Amino acid sequence: MRESFDEYKSTIESNIINFTYLYDGDVLFSKKDSYSEIVSHDRTSPLPIINCISDIYDKSIKSMMDRSIEKVIGIKDNTILNIPGNTDDNIFYYIDELKSKTNNFKPLYVFCSENSRKLFGITKKMAINKPFPSHLYDIHKYHSQSYDLYLAPLIDDNEDEFHVYVSDKSIQSLVYSIQNMEYDIEKVDNGYKHTIYYKLYECDFTCYKLIIKDISQIREDKINQLLNDNKL
């Protein structure tokens, strides 16, 4: 017996309800969007739905990054890699500092890259035996600080400059996206085109981008900027 799209949606929703940063955002406005892929059969399939959720994740993370407020943190000789404690040579210090210096901002979700996760002392690989891509799941819950840490592959940094994004609220509202999803199957030359139509939501949140780099690099950047300004 074939499962209907509504039955698949129910199963999918029971899984993604745990991705609260994507699930329960406070909606500001929405736009129509879609996801398509070619499949060899004309039956409703869970894989395109999972891939659609992953695509929504990418778009939501990109939007969060574009909207973020940059905060540059100067360090010397990678001192911020000293994981223990909560002093100004520690990433947890700078996340906590957002609470007291940014109008009662309360970190709820923290996103790091493969490089920047070392700031948190996390080196283990993500589990892959899960229905959704591993990076959708948290890699650590900091219960005492009340925020969760996620690995976000779209974050582009390097060994000389680390980027960490900190949000105070959920960045997407999949609860409404799923409710409004429509699944369409169309015969094409090389198989069947499965298209999922949905609404992508812009949500109400504040996000800070912590840019951690060596003090000497910050000085060099300022000098280069001044030189470039003088050329204009």
What are 23-57's pLDDT values in tens digits? 999 999 999 999 999 999 999 888 899 999 999 99
Higher pLDDT, 97 or 159: 97
- The answer to whether the pTM exceeds 0.85 is yes
Task: Write b or e for each residue in 52-62: b if 16 or more Cβ atoms lie within 10 A of its Cβ, otherwise e.
Answer: bbebbbeebbe
Q: Can you tell me the mean pLDDT for 99-128?
A: 84
Residue 145: closest CA among 97, 203, 103: 97
Q: Which two tokens stand for residue 83?
A: 């994981």
Task: Taking residues 113-125, report their average pLDDT.
Answer: 84
Q: What is the mean pLDDT of residues 91-95?
A: 89
Task: Say yes or no to pLDDT of 219 above 60.
Answer: no
Among the listed residues 36, 40, 30, the one whose alpha carbon sits nearest the alpha carbon of residue 51: 36
Distance separating alpha carbons of residues 202 and 170, to the nearest angstrom: 10
- Burial class from Cβ neighbours inside 10 Å (0-12, 13-18, 19+) for residue 223 reads exposed
* Confidence check: pLDDT of 218 > 60: no
* CB within 8 Å of 56: residues ≥ 6 apart: 22, 33, 35, 172, 174, 177, 198, 200
Residue range 8-31: mean pLDDT, rounded: 92
pLDDT band at 1 (very low <50, low <70, confident <90, very high): very low
Question: What is residue 123's predicted lDDT score, i.e. its pLDDT?
Answer: 77
H-state helical runs in the chain: 5-16, 20-23, 46-67, 91-101, 174-179, 215-231
Q: Whole-angstrom distance between the N-terminal and C-terminal Cα of the chain?
A: 69
Annotated domain spans of the chain: 5-231
Say which amino acid occupies 19.
F
Contact between residue 52 and residue 198 where contact means Cβ atoms under 8 Å apart = yes
What token pair was written down for 89? 């040579």
Bigger pLDDT: 219 or 194? Answer: 194
**For 216, left (φ over 0), alpha (ψ -120 to 50), or beta?**
alpha
d(CA 209, CA 66): 10
The pLDDT assigned to 32 comes to 96
Question: Above 80 in pLDDT, residue 81?
Answer: no
The per-residue pLDDT for 74 is 81
Tell me the average pLDDT across 60-83: 83
Q: Over the stretch 120-168, which tens digit does the pLDDT of each residue have?
A: 888 777 666 788 999 999 999 998 888 999 999 999 887 778 999 999 9
Q: What is the mean pLDDT of residues 193-219?
A: 88
Amino acid at 227: L
The CA distances from residue 113 to 116, 147, 150, in Å, are 5, 17, 9
Q: pLDDT at residue 216 above 80? A: no
